Each structure stands twice: as structure tokens, then as C-alpha cells.
A = this chain, B = another copy of it.
């Protein structure tokens, strides 16, 4: 009986849990286009045609809403990276290459989610256990890929991990937030990512005393 009028109901109102999903989607859209600072529960509510207090019945507040979105983002990000590494050739540096590419491309395509995970917002989303748990696999992938690269030597493994992360984050962040401007053609971004990963891998190989080519 409920399924018969479900569609019509969904159009007219947000009963039965639809509002929660609508709020999540609408908020992510705002973060994508205008950034995290532009998020306002009241504006979201107005946009969805419900009262300004309605969102508080689905989330304890703005922080929790953002935390739920951040946890979702970490899960989706982790899956993306895992898939990319899994599809790569059976070579440590090929895996690192695939990981870095996937990281940067995900960050550029899902700007809002990336801002939620690694943006400099002063909302302490790390306090939420769900967010911490969701973010753990991401770090584990990087760790295992780098472990494969350094091999049994394990020289500066932690540092190399963080350097790889830093380059990916820096590139994603500067391109995504339009701090890097391209004056040439449309392929400049692609070329920049290619050169970046190439320099990263060559630098790590040199640091580990490995020959230049793979």
C-alpha cells in the first residue's frame, strides 16, 4: 500500500526517510560548487521546501551532517584507491603510479568530498569515530603500496609515505582550488599530473638507490 503512492509522496514531501538523503545530496552539491563555508542548514532546508528546523531531526547539527558526509567520502575514496591498485600491473612502482593517479583524479572529480576529507576547515570531524574508521583503509593502502616499493630495506618508509601523500595532496589541492592556472592548452593538467608522478617515482627510486628505469 505504501509502494503504490511512494513516487507521488516523494514528490510532495520528504517523509519516510527521503529527507535525510535529500539533505545529504543537497549539501554535497553546495560543498562541490561553493565550498564548505557556504553550507547552511537553513538554506538547505529552504531549497528542499521544508522548514528550517527539519534537518535537526535527521542530524544532531551541522557538524554531524558534515561528519556523515565525510565518512561516506572516505569509504568511497578508499574503494576507488583499492580498485585502482588492484588493477595495476604486478610491480611496486606501477602500483604507486596507479595509486597516485587515482588519488589525484578522485580529488579533482569529487571536489566536495575531497574538501570534506582534507580541506582546512576547522570542523573537527576527526572526533567522530565513524570518520576515523572510514579513513583508516585509505591510509593502509598507501602504507602497503609504499612497503612494496621500499622492499625489505624499509629505509624511511614512513617518510616516503608522507612525501607521496604530500605531493598528491598538494597537486590535488592547488589544481582543485584553482591556485595553479594553466596558460596553455587543455592537456596541461594531465601533463602536470604525469610529470608529477614521474618525478615522485624517480625521486623515490633515487632515494632508495634503485636504478632509474623500472
| B159–A195 CB distance below 8 A | yes
A119 at the interface (CB under 8 A from B): yes
Partner of A168, one of B160, B170, B203: B170
A64 at the interface (CB under 8 A from B): no
Interface size on A, residues (CB 8 A): 47
Report if A192-B37 is in contact (Cβ < 8 Å); known contacts: A120-B119, A171-B170, A200-B199.
no
A11 at the interface (CB under 8 A from B): no
Report if A166-B177 is in contact (Cβ < 8 Å); known contacts: A34-B122, A207-B198.
no
**Closest chain B residue to A212, Cβ basis:** B206
| B206–A159 CB distance below 8 A | no
Residues of B within 8 A of A212 (CB): 206
| A174–B179 CB distance below 8 A | no
Identical copies of this chain, number = 2
Residues 119-170 of A at the B interface (beta carbon under 8 Å): 119-122, 156, 158-160, 162-163, 165-170
A residues near B (Cβ < 8 Å) are: 34-38, 115, 118-122, 156, 158-160, 162-163, 165-171, 173-174, 177, 179-180, 183-184, 188, 191-192, 195-196, 198-207, 212
Residues of B within 8 A of A118 (CB): 179
**Closest chain B residue to A191, Cβ basis:** B159
| B195–A35 CB distance below 8 A | no
Q: List 8 A-B contacts (CB under 8 A).
A: A160-B199, A163-B171, A166-B173, A167-B170, A169-B173, A199-B200, A203-B204, A203-B206
Whole-angstrom distance between the Cβ of A189 and the nearest chain B Cβ: 10
Partner of A202, one of B192, B198, B202: B202
Tell which of A37, A180, A206 has the most Cβ of chain B within 10 Å: A206
Q: A166-B180, A201-B203 are in contact. List 13 more A-B contacts (CB 8 A).
A: A34-B122, A35-B120, A120-B121, A120-B173, A156-B191, A158-B184, A160-B199, A163-B192, A163-B196, A166-B167, A166-B171, A167-B170, A202-B207
Residues of B within 8 A of A115 (CB): 120
